[in-house]
């Protein structure tokens, strides 16, 4: 049997054996919290509330060794074409100074110098008052998330607006109250073929009117596409940067313009810190590796189908959406690199900011039969200068992970109800409803501060985690063929919405198109 199969088998056996309850794990291991928590850069990550015993940990590490995480890591940083289905290298870490490919590093440095010069000129000239950032998916989510966080550290010198969806509301809202004369439109699209972005770009061009020739720039890996679209000024990135890994590139020019290039450099430095850790730390002290293994344990052995991410921070409110793309577009696949079936890959990633989500879906986390492991994320420093609020936020965060783990005791629920004078038959009905099983796993990630550098560390941590998961599942984390079919069909349906041509879809789709035709008739 191969080493991988052996490791997989021993993990299956461990999962099928009677694992102790989380609370018992703490009783049995005095130093559990220390053994399972890690400090890297400005992050403290505590895995001790995961259902990981010493034996499980050892077996997970054996799995990481067996699938050759170290070899894949070396191959990625060396620029081998590990994105096999597209024949591309995966070198986004080079954007933050990692790796040692001199030619590519030079390309990156030159581009960073160009974007810095451009951004600083705009900041210095003070002509522009607003930036309209147009992009979707990886050309939006990261920049959008960073914008909220950078604003905690420094104020935005220009009004940064995002246009994302092809719903006209997105651009209509974004241009409200800003002046075409003093607005810089930045169209961001790796492919420059994305329908939504091109349409919004056209709408922005029309809105700019006489300023369109001077107030528009494009960021893309498709220079010819930019030219054909008719934008004179462009910044390039490269095919070895995946869209969902592109926030470290010129894609985030709008951040440099609005918040300054120095803060963006700090962000890159944070990711570089995590690259260093991922490259150099032994597997059993390696944070992305540990995070990936924990997720694989939950997904493939305990059997959880989803993973919740709850940042107790309004400024990190877009993190769940960002991670949805990073994790599910990378690892939401049913086929391995060699074309064989892959089973049970990416969990569904979902979540929202705490405490809001406590009042929405936490019922499910605490008492549904399925539940989901949670990543709780909180910030130690109070950036908002509201100590009472901040303590309440942290108290809620810590309480939720404790409640999920500890639960309560049916007997004590019954005792309380008895003390309230309820009949035994009512107690039998009500007590189970007030019962919390506990033993529900979570990881807690604490950020020392909410700043650009630590955000860089956090995002790079998740990036590398996703990569390690993909190695274990034997899938290519860097392509996204699953998004193509819908795009092709949308391209076919779009003209049909306006015409009277016969429809050749399934009868449901035909009926939907007919209704839309009816509703848009003049
Ligand atoms: O449709 C998915 C996707 O291709 C993502 O991978 C990408 O981040 C997004 O669309 C936007 O693509 P582009 O940057 O090429 O416009």
Per residue in 136-176, pLDDT (tens digit) is 999 999 999 999 999 989 989 999 999 999 999 999 999 99
Smallest CA separation from ligand 1 atom 13, residue? 189
Instruction: Give 55-82 pLDDT, tens digit per residue.
Output: 999 999 999 999 999 999 999 999 999 9
Cα 429 to chain centroid distance, Å, stands at 42
pLDDT score of 111 more than 80: yes
User: Cα of 358 to ligand 1 centre, how many Å?
Assistant: 32
Average pLDDT over residues 490-510: 95
Q: Is the pTM of this model over 0.75?
A: yes
Residue 163 has φ and ψ, to the nearest 5°, of -115, 120
Q: Residue 183: helix, strand or coil by DSSP?
A: strand
Q: Specify whether the CB–CB gap between 148 and 316 falls below 8 A.
A: yes
Q: Residue 47: helix, strand or coil by DSSP?
A: coil
Helices 54-66 and 287-296 cross at an angle (nearest 10°) of 100
Q: What is the pLDDT of residue 414?
A: 98
Verify whether residue 359 is a known catalytic residue.
yes
Task: Considering the candidates 155, 343, 359, 521, report the single residue annotated as catalytic.
Answer: 359
Beta bridge partners of 131: 160, 184
Q: How far apart are CA 474 and CA 314, in angstroms?
A: 36
Sorting pLDDT into bands at 50, 70 and 90, what band is 220?
very high
Residue 281 CB: number of other CB atoms within 10 A?
16
Q: How far apart are CA 295 and CA 466, in angstroms?
A: 10
Average pLDDT over residues 104-121: 97
Whether 143 lines ligand 1, by a CB cut-off of 6 Å, is no
Sorting pLDDT into bands at 50, 70 and 90, what band is 499?
confident
Q: What is the pLDDT of residue 522?
A: 73
**Max CA separation in the chain (angstroms):** 79
Task: Considering the candidates 196, 266, 329, 496, report the single residue annotated as catalytic.
Answer: 329
Cis peptide before 355 (omega within 30 of 0): yes
Smallest CA separation from ligand 1 atom 8, residue? 138
Whether 225 lines ligand 1, by a CB cut-off of 6 Å, is no
Average of per-residue pLDDT values in the chain: 97
Q: Specify whether the CB–CB gap between 268 and 97 falls below 8 A.
A: yes
By percentage, how much of the chain surpasses pLDDT 70?
100
User: Cα of 318 to ligand 1 centre, how many Å?
Assistant: 18
Mutate to test the pocket of ligand 1, among 138, 162, 165, 328 (most ligand atoms within 8 A of CB): 138
> Quick one: three-class SS letters along 342-362?
CCCCCCEEECCCCCHHHHCCH
Smallest CA separation from ligand 1 atom 1, residue? 483
Q: What is the pLDDT of residue 454?
A: 98
Whether 243 lines ligand 1, by a CB cut-off of 6 Å, is yes
In the numeric block, which tokens belong to residue 413?
Answer: 């629920």
pLDDT score of 1 more than 90: no
Average pLDDT over residues 273-285: 98
Whether 201 lines ligand 1, by a CB cut-off of 6 Å, is no
pLDDT score of 268 more than 80: yes
Rg (CA), the chain: 25
Q: What is the pLDDT of residue 521?
A: 78
Q: What is the pLDDT of residue 344?
A: 97
Whether 136 lines ligand 1, by a CB cut-off of 6 Å, is yes
pLDDT score of 385 more than 90: yes
Q: What is the pLDDT of residue 452?
A: 98
Indicate which atom in ligand 1 lies nearest the CA of residue 197. 16
User: Cα of 25 to ligand 1 centre, how many Å?
Assistant: 44
User: Cα of 187 to ligand 1 centre, how many Å?
Assistant: 13
Whether 246 lines ligand 1, by a CB cut-off of 6 Å, is no
pLDDT score of 427 more than 80: yes
Whether 490 lines ligand 1, by a CB cut-off of 6 Å, is no
Ordered alpha helix ranges (H), 261-342 = 261-280, 287-296, 319-323, 330-331
Taking alpha carbons only, the member of 321, 432, 312 closest to residue 375 is: 312
By percentage, how much of the chain surpasses pLDDT 90?
97
pLDDT score of 134 more than 90: yes
CA atoms within 13 A on the CB side of 71: 7
Verify whether residue 487 is a known catalytic residue.
yes
The sign of the CA dihedral 327, 221, 120, 175 is negative
Whether 138 lines ligand 1, by a CB cut-off of 6 Å, is yes
Residue 137 has φ and ψ, to the nearest 5°, of 60, -130
Whether 191 lines ligand 1, by a CB cut-off of 6 Å, is yes
Helix H or strand E encompassing 426 = helix 424-430
Q: Using alpha carbons only, give the angle 321, 273, 78 rounded to the nearest 5 degrees.
A: 90
Helix H or strand E encompassing 494 = helix 484-496
């Amino acid at each position: 049997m191969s080493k991988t199969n052996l490791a997989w088998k021993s993990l299956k056996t461990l999962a099928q054996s009677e694992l102790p309850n989380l609370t018992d794990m703490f009783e049995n291991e005095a130093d559990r919290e220390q053994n399972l928590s890690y400090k890297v850069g400005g992050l403290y990550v505590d895995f001790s509330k995961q259902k990981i015993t010493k034996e499980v940990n050892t077996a997970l590490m054996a799995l990481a060794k067996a699938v050759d995480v170290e070899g894949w890591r070396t191959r990625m940083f060396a620029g081998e074409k590990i994105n096999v289905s597209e024949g591309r290298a995966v070198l986004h870490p080079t954007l933050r100074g990692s790796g040692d490919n001199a030619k590519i590093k030079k390309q990156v440095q030159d581009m960073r110098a160009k974007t810095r010069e451009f951004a600083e000129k705009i900041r210095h000239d003070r002509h522009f008052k607003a930036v309209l950032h147009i992009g979707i998916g990886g050309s939006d989510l990261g920049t959008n998330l960073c914008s909220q966080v950078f604003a905690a550290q420094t104020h935005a010198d220009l009004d940064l607006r995002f246009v994302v969806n092809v719903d006209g509301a997105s651009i209509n809202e974004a241009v409200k109250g800003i002046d075409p004369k003093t607005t810089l439109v930045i169209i961001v699209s790796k492919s420059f073929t994305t329908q939504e972005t091109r349409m919004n770009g056209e709408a922005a061009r029309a809105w700019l009117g006489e300023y369109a020739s001077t107030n528009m720039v494009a960021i893309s890996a498709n220079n010819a596409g930019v030219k054909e679209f008719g934008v004179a000024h462009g910044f390039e990135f490269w095919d070895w940067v995946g869209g969902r890994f592109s926030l470290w590139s010129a894609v985030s020019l709008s951040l440099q313009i609005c918040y300054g290039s120095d803060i963006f450099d700090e962000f890159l430095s944070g990711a570089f810190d995590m690259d260093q850790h991922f490259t150099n730390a032994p597997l059993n002290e390696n944070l992305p590796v540990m995070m990936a293994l924990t997720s694989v344990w939950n997904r493939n052995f305990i059997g959880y189908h989803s993973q919740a991410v709850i940042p107790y921070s309004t400024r990190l409110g877009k993190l769940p959406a960002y991670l949805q793309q990073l994790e599910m577009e990378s690892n939401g696949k049913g086929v391995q690199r060699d074309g064989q079936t892959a089973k049970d890959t990416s969990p569904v990633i979902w979540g929202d900011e705490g405490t809001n989500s406590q009042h929405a879906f936490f019922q499910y986390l605490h008492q549904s039969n399925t539940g989901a492991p949670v990543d709780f994320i909180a910030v130690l420093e109070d950036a908002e200068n509201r100590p009472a609020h901040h303590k309440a936020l942290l108290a809620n965060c810590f309480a939720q992970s404790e409640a999920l783990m500890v639960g309560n005791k049916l007997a004590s629920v019954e005792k309380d109800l008895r003390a309230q004078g309820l009949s035994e038959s009512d107690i039998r009905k009500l007590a189970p409803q007030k019962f919390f099983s506990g033993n529900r796993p979570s990881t807690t990630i604490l950020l020392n501060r909410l700043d650009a550098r630590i955000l860089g560390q956090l995002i790079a941590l998740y990036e590398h985690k996703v990569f390690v998961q993909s190695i274990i599942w034997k899938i290519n984390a860097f392509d996204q063929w699953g998004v193509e079919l819908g795009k092709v069909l949308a391209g076919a349906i779009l003209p049909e919405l306006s015409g009277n041509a016969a429809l050749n879809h399934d009868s449901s789709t035909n009926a939907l198109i007919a209704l839309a035709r009816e509703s848009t008739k003049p």
